[in-house]
Amino acid sequence: MSDDTPRKSPIATRRQVLAGISALPFMGMLGGKVNAADYPTAEVNTTGLAVTDDKVTVGILHSVTGTMAISETGSVQAEKLAIKQINDMGGVLGRQIDFIQEDGASDWPTFAEKAKKLLVQDKVASVMGCWTSASRKAVLPVFEQYNGMLYYPTFYEGLEESPNVIYTGQEATQQIIAGIDWVAQNKGAKSFYLLGSDYIWPRTSNKIARKHIDKLGLEVVGEEYYPLGHTQFNSVINKIKLRKPDVIYAIIVGGSNVAFYKQLKAAGIDMTKEKPLLLTISVTEDEILGIGGENIVGAYACMKYFQSLPNDNNAEFVTAFKEMWGEEIVIGDVTQAAYLGPWLWKMAVEKAGSFDIDKVREASPGIEFTKAPEGYVRIHENHHLWSKTRVGHALDDGQYEVVFETEDLVEPDPFPEGYQ
């Protein structure tokens, strides 16, 4: 990637444009410049969305204040980066993307209020947003009632398939099954201890994990849940020591992670020895910033993206991200999934030749994004993404080293037969 990533200059020289384009992950699709005049506003916007002859407005709806801000900030940054890159390439159907950002304030009713404002008052053409399942559940009726389109970035529990949402993160089976197969085959794991924070995602995920462990003929020796924000894990750590599982399967979220991994280390469980081995689906590079790399070194994480992923798309993405948001920044799984949102929307709009929500929805299944940082992805009929599942091994510098990836894309299956 060249040093000349696109600048925000409205009048770019030819050389800058070329250099800029070369830095973009989307070059292959560019073809020729799309002229807004070829797509008259009256034809591409028949439902009164915020689309003019040279501008289209989208919404960004995440928490930038409150407890979730630490997790959601990365998604906001990724979405802004994607929008900027799309604009530098000429926008969508010749129109520059403008965004209205609203703060969900880590409060589910606020999410619903702001979602409604974006759809009813601002008439945005799509919304990139939400993080927790609770916030998504709060806005879902709003999106379905006012027919909006939400690009939702987080890995989540599944059991949902809304015509008004594109799920750019993994649903539970995509994230879980390949990881358990991997520890069973490569690490000889026979017994599992399931842990989680007490809400819908960890509970559903552990339910799927338990069913799959049963199918493999292996054993679950314990399953426990703790309230969000819980910080005393000593009793469960003692139980783990007593029952000696081969794998601790941890789905602990948010601030609790810091206490959990520190107490695990203090109790003398050295994860680098892999006795027991720790497998998590909830700790991305963002969480390690809080936990500290030295406290989690040796653990394994199963998700679809790691910052260290060795491919050209990702190298370009990481460089562009750091250039926009600073060298110190880390990029986790959800941040990457959030980055896909604006691109997938742009491609669907261009395929449909229209901003109308119904046409975008119709055009979405089958959309392929070859330049995604995680590699090739494709939108399934059920609005989730086909994507690979990977296992990362935590290093002491807070990064993961990718030790395994599925050969093929894993099919999303939000209502898995035999796992409910």
Task: Find the binder of other proteins among 17, 64, 220, 402 (CB under 8 A).
Answer: 64
Cα 334 to chain centroid distance, Å, stands at: 3
Element (H, E) at 127: strand 127-129
**Site for other proteins contains 147 (CB under 8 A):** no
Binders of other proteins among residues 156 to 195 (CB under 8 A) are: 157, 159
**Site for other proteins contains 70 (CB under 8 A):** no
Q: How far is CA 297 from CA 63, 125, 169, 293, in A?
A: 29, 43, 25, 6
Q: Count residues near other proteins (CB under 8 A).
A: 37
| DSSP conformation letters of 9-32 | -SS--HHHHHHHHHTSTTHHHH-S
**Site for other proteins contains 72 (CB under 8 A):** no
**Site for other proteins contains 207 (CB under 8 A):** yes
Backbone angles phi, psi at 226, to 5 degrees: -130, 145
Q: And the tokens for 293?
A: 């790399």
String of contacts with other proteins for each residue 23-62, x by CB under 8 A? ----------------------------------------
Contacts 24+ apart (CB under 8 A), 235-240: 236/195, 237/263, 237/264, 237/267, 237/269, 238/267, 239/193, 240/193, 240/269, 240/276
Binders of other proteins among residues 290 to 319 (CB under 8 A) are: none
**Site for other proteins contains 152 (CB under 8 A):** no
Q: Is 290 in a helix, a strand, or coil? A: helix
Binders of other proteins among residues 99 to 128 (CB under 8 A) are: 101-103, 105, 107-110, 112-114, 116-117, 120-121
Task: Find the binder of other proteins among 26, 147, 199, 323 (CB under 8 A).
Answer: 199
Q: How far is the CB of 170 from other proteins (least distance, A)?
A: 18
**Site for other proteins contains 251 (CB under 8 A):** no
DSSP type of residue 196: E
Helix, strand, coil % (nearest 5) of the chain? 40, 20, 40
**Site for other proteins contains 228 (CB under 8 A):** yes
**Site for other proteins contains 231 (CB under 8 A):** no
Instruction: Write out the residues near other proteins by the rule CB under 8 A.
Output: 64-65, 101-103, 105, 107-110, 112-114, 116-117, 120-121, 132-134, 137-138, 140-141, 145, 157, 159, 198-200, 203-204, 207, 227-228, 415, 420
